[in-house]
A = this chain, B = another copy of it.
Amino acid sequence: MLKLYCAPNTISTVVVIALNEGVHWEPIRVDVAGGEQTRPEYLKVNPKGRVPVLLTPESALTETGAILEYLGETALPDLLPADPLHRARMREVMYYLGTTMHVNHAHMRRGYRWADQDSSLSDMQAKVSETMAASSAYVEGLIEGPFIFGSSPTLADFYLYTLSTWLERDGVGIEAYPRFAAFKAAMEERPSVKRAIADGFFG
């Protein structure tokens, strides 16, 4: 059985909801708020000190986007588009979310990764509502509705859903982006997301 090192309100919830779409799996909860991911025992699992980590029968796999693709190829084929250009479009969204939108958000609480002074961290925090609003406006233009690519979700939708749950605490009201708000609502109708919310992975 697949196991996932994961924690509420982290990017690992992307993989939680994807797994809930139809994979038999088990969570290994990591106390990220308490810093468990930085301790020697956890660093043996993932030297990068982050969640998620997917334990497969063969190995431990890290990086949200790579784990999603692995699940799409091995267990969740309905979430991986069959056409190469559609797959490319899905990956274009996933890489944007990973390299730009998630990074914008990370400057709220993880600014110490890139700067040392308290004044820098405050400056970064103050700008997050601006950068996350810009990301939301870009995402708004992508969404065909209700899901990113129309009537069915792909792997990218699970990535975007988790980021949508961070907007409020980043100072961005999703209601200013009607397609993005409708996307979030549509995702919250899926049993995979309902189960993750009930299991305490969001909020």
Contacts and interface: CB of A to CB of B under 8 A. Distances in A.
A70 B107 CA distance: 31
Interface string A29-52: 000000000000000000110000
A62 interface: yes
A120 B124 contact: yes
Specify how many copies of this chain sit in the oligomer: 2
A187 to B, nearest CB: 22
Contact of A95 (B65, B73, B89): B65
B66 A92 contact: yes
A63 interface: yes
Contacts of A24: none
B84 A70 contact: yes
Contacts of A69: 87-88, 91
A151 interface: no
Main secondary structure of the interface of A (DSSP, over half): helix
A67 B96 CA distance: 12
Contacts of A115: 107, 115, 120, 123-124, 127
A36 to B, nearest CB: 20
A126 B84 CA distance: 42
Interface in A69-124: 69-70, 73-74, 84-85, 87-89, 91-92, 94-96, 98-100, 102-104, 107, 111, 113-117, 119-120, 123-124
Most B C-beta atoms less than 10 A away, residue of A88, A94, A126: A88
A58 interface: yes
A47 B102 CA distance: 18
Contacts of A70: 84-85, 87-88, 91
A73 B65 contact: no
Q: Which 9 A-B pairs have the closest CB atoms?
A: A66-B91, A63-B95, A120-B120, A70-B88, A66-B92, A120-B123, A115-B123, A65-B95, A98-B99
